[in-house]
Amino acid sequence: MSSSPSQPIKIGEFLLRRLKEAGVRHLFGVPGDYNLELLQQLQDTGALKWIGACSELNASYAADGYARLNGLGALLVTNGVGPLSAINGIGGSYSEHVPVICIAGSIPLRSIERGLGMHHTMADGSYDHFLNAYAHVTTGHARLTPRNAAIEIDRLILAAWREKRPVFIELPSDIAYLDIEVPRGPLVLAEPSSDHERLRSCVAAIAERFSAARSPAILVDADAGRFGVASDLMELAEKTQAPVAVINTAKSVIDETFPRYIGIYNGKASEPHAREAIETSDCLLAIGYRPLEVTTGDFTASLPANTIHARSYSVDIGDDNYQAVTLKEVVRGVIDAVPRLTKRTPRPVAAAVGPTHPDGLHADASAKLTQAAYWQAMQGYLREGDVLYVDNGTSFALFGLKFPPKCTFVGSVNWGSIGYSVGALLGALTAAPERRHILFVGDGSFQVTAQELSTILRHDHKPVIFLINNGGYTIERGYLGKTEFYNDIANWSYADLPKVFRRDTSARSFVVKTVGDLQSALSAPNDTLIFVESIMDRFDAPTPVMNSSNKGADLDYGPRGPQRRDNQLRPAT
Ligand SMILES: Cc1ncc(C[n+]2csc(CCOP(=O)(O)OP(=O)(O)O)c2C)c(N)n1
Ligand SMILES: [Mg+2]
């Protein structure tokens, strides 16, 4: 990783330098007295660009969105109040396997050593609460000291990158300006090498089964994207003519126009051909598969008993478990080892949402906008290379759209924290401003993190934001409380917000009530931020979303729970 210790450097500068060497070019966060000294070093050295956010929660979402497109992200917060605000986002990064480095400027070591009571603490004599809290949502954590800083900074950055998980670093405010000896060479991000014998035998076992199979298939979860093997898997599918399905958490990881792509596998909720290809495969290779109710059609998924489970650093095949093998090397090895096949006929490619909503196709321009017409129109709006975000809610209909090539999906399917998408949008825009970014969000989710729109405008980003104003939490009405007040929210003037958040904005705002209104909004050029507020009925919801909410209620409350009192929004028949 590095050569012998060398020149002295200040601890804070070393941390910033290492972040830069690891590919981090921007730091998100909120200033506070315990981190200002590091911010001053950032300013003086120009090592990274500071992106101040409106809240630490939003900064944590932004660092996550940034990491998804950049490979690694970072945020800086101040003691106590910062980490506890950011912990929801960091928990999400942990759940979704996103490498984020959360740095907290913390209580000076002097105060800890002397037991001085300080602000932004619990004032109970302990300084470890936040470090301890973060132990549960990170793959590593440390409080830096002049003795451990050189080692811990490298250890934690590398751990985040290798595990695709967040880490937490406390930088006491009185040590950032102290000199320490550090390794001479740059930090090298590299995976641990595989054990040669295990890799060879693991590859041979997979290749043998895969080539002998009559109906091999590949099932891809999000780790395939995180660990950079998506194009390798397509190469394997091409060579063996095997169909590939994804779990919804891995939407867009496999190019949806790839001839071997068969769509999303979600148990009973899958398209029949995808379900059949996966469940009847005589050799299924599953990559990073993590079953949850939301990724398995409420546990109706049924993988063949002999499924091979390949994970980031291990593989399960029948009775054998192979440790110390990297996913990349396993997949590359299998590609090399299997013979090329040419005769298997491709299965039909998954259909787009369009044909399932015929009423949307023929709606006349003055017709009131419906969800069906909305998603039908969105299918035509997507372009090659878009970055597409979804928040929790009826916007989940996005999963039913067929993405053009080279699109990236950003969503928090496992963790599902509403408002995530707005912060993630800021982060991913910062990582890849040259791409077109399109956010699909509901009014309820947007209200949680809406103020980050101001940072997006401040930095002249030009995303397209499609907000559904349906007066509240429609997806929740499908669980319980179809008409109850607790699912209603305040009716903001959403389309006016760009003006509120930036007086001189050139953003184009639209309030859409009819199909025709939507068509004119969609024809606006992408030379500035576009904000489209679409007003729809609170009981209008895509059928797959309602089915999922209804089933979720049975799981959450039991089959004889309160949802049975005819108090639940159901799919339109
Ligand atoms: C932080 C957080 N709080 C609460 C929830 C529960 N929740 C899930 S979806 C949702 C409502 C989303 O409403 P909206 O964004 O308006 O979408 P709609 O279904 O109305 O289109 C809520 C409150 C959550 N997922 N995350
Ligand atoms: Mg809503």
Read off the pLDDT of residues 176-219 as tens digits, 9 standing for 90 and up.
999 999 999 999 999 999 999 999 999 999 999 999 999 999 99
Task: Please tell me the predicted confidence (pLDDT) of residue 3.
Answer: 52
Task: Give burial (CB, 10 Å; 0-12/13-18/19+) of 336.
Answer: exposed
Ligand 1 within 6 A of CB of 12: no
Q: Which residues lie across from 170 on neighbouring strands?
A: 104, 143
Residue 476 appears among annotated catalytic residues? yes
Ligand 1 within 6 A of CB of 417: yes
Average pLDDT over residues 248-264: 97
Q: Whose CA is nearest to atom 4 of ligand 1?
A: 418
Structure tokens at 208: 């043998």
Task: Please tell me the predicted confidence (pLDDT) of residue 348.
Answer: 53
Average pLDDT over residues 485-506: 98
Closest CA to 102 of 121, 86, 85: 86
Residue 56 appears among annotated catalytic residues? yes
What are the DSSP calls for 481-497, one per residue?
Answer: -SS-GGGB-----GGGH
Q: Considering 37, 154, 443, 517, which one is annotated as catalytic?
A: 443
Ligand nearest to the CA of 470: 2
Residue type, 315: V
Ligand 1 within 6 A of CB of 371: no
What are the DSSP calls for 414-461, one per residue?
Answer: TT--TTHHHHHHHHHHHH-TTS-EEEEEEHHHHHHHGGGHHHHHHTT-
pLDDT cut 70: percent of the chain above it: 96
What beta strand segments (E) does 243-338 contain? 244-246, 261-264, 283-287, 308-310, 314-317, 320-323
Residue 558 CA to ligand 2 center (angstroms) comes to: 25
Residue 416 CA to ligand 2 center (angstroms) comes to: 15
Task: Please tell me the predicted confidence (pLDDT) of residue 488.
Answer: 98
Please determine, for residue 355, whether its predicted confidence score (pLDDT) is greater than 70: no
Q: Whose CA is nearest to atom 1 of ligand 1?
A: 417
Average pLDDT over residues 364-388: 97
Categorize the per-residue pLDDT at 362 as very low, low, confident or very high, splitting at 50, 70 and 90.
low
Ligand nearest to the CA of 447: 1
Ligand 1 within 6 A of CB of 533: no
The answer to whether 64 and 15 have CB atoms below 8 angstroms apart is no
pLDDT cut 90: percent of the chain above it: 92
Ligand 1 within 6 A of CB of 416: yes
Residue 393 CA to ligand 2 center (angstroms) comes to: 7
Residue 394 CA to ligand 1 center (angstroms) comes to: 9
Categorize the per-residue pLDDT at 4 as very low, low, confident or very high, splitting at 50, 70 and 90.
low
> How do beta strands 408-411 and 508-512 pair?
unpaired
Question: CA 292 → CA 1, 289, 295, 400, 573, distances in Å?
Answer: 37, 10, 5, 19, 28
Task: Please tell me the predicted confidence (pLDDT) of residue 559.
Answer: 87
Q: What are phi and psi of 379, to 5 degrees?
A: -55, -40
Categorize the per-residue pLDDT at 363 as very low, low, confident or very high, splitting at 50, 70 and 90.
low
Lowest mean pLDDT, pick from 158-162, 242-246, 350-354, 528-532:
350-354
Q: In which region does residue 225 sit, left (phi positive, over 0), alpha (psi from -120 to 50) or beta (all else)?
A: alpha
Q: CB-based contacts of 526: which residues, under 8 Å, 6+ apart?
A: 436, 462, 464
Which of 58, 90, 369, 392 has the most ligand 1 atoms within 8 A of CB, as the residue to mutate? 392
How far, in whole angstroms, is CA 455 from its chain's centroid?
20
Please determine, for residue 87, whether its predicted confidence score (pLDDT) is greater than 50: yes
Categorize the per-residue pLDDT at 28 as very low, low, confident or very high, splitting at 50, 70 and 90.
very high
Strand order in the sheet with 216-220: 261-264, 244-246, 216-220, 283-287, 308-310, 314-317, 320-323
Q: Whose CA is nearest to atom 26 of ligand 1?
A: 417
Crossing angle for the helix pair 81-96 and 420-431, to the nearest 10 degrees: 80
Q: CB-based contacts of 305: which residues, under 8 Å, 6+ apart?
A: none
Categorize the per-residue pLDDT at 356 as very low, low, confident or very high, splitting at 50, 70 and 90.
very low
Task: Please tell me the predicted confidence (pLDDT) of residue 7.
Answer: 80
Average pLDDT over residues 99-108: 98
Structure tokens at 387: 């970055």
Q: How many CB atoms lie within 10 A of CB 241?
A: 16
Q: Which residues surround ligand 2, an ion (CB under 5 A)?
A: 442-444, 470
In three-state secondary structure terms, 357 is coil
Residue 179 appears among annotated catalytic residues? no
Q: Indicate which atom in ligand 1 lies nearest the CA of residue 445.
A: 15
Q: CB-based contacts of 546: which residues, under 8 Å, 6+ apart?
A: 478, 569, 570, 571
Average pLDDT over residues 141-162: 98
Categorize the per-residue pLDDT at 296 as very low, low, confident or very high, splitting at 50, 70 and 90.
very high
Closest CA to 58 of 82, 94, 25: 82
Which of 415, 473, 568 has the most ligand 1 atoms within 8 A of CB, as the residue to mutate? 473
How far, in whole angstroms, is CA 265 from its chain's centroid?
19
Q: Which residues lie across from 465 on neighbouring strands?
A: 439, 531
Lowest mean pLDDT, pick from 356-360, 432-436, 469-473, 508-512:
356-360
Residue 498 CA to ligand 2 center (angstroms) comes to: 19
Residue 119 appears among annotated catalytic residues? yes
Residue 89 CA to ligand 2 center (angstroms) comes to: 21
Mean per-residue pLDDT over the chain, rounded: 95
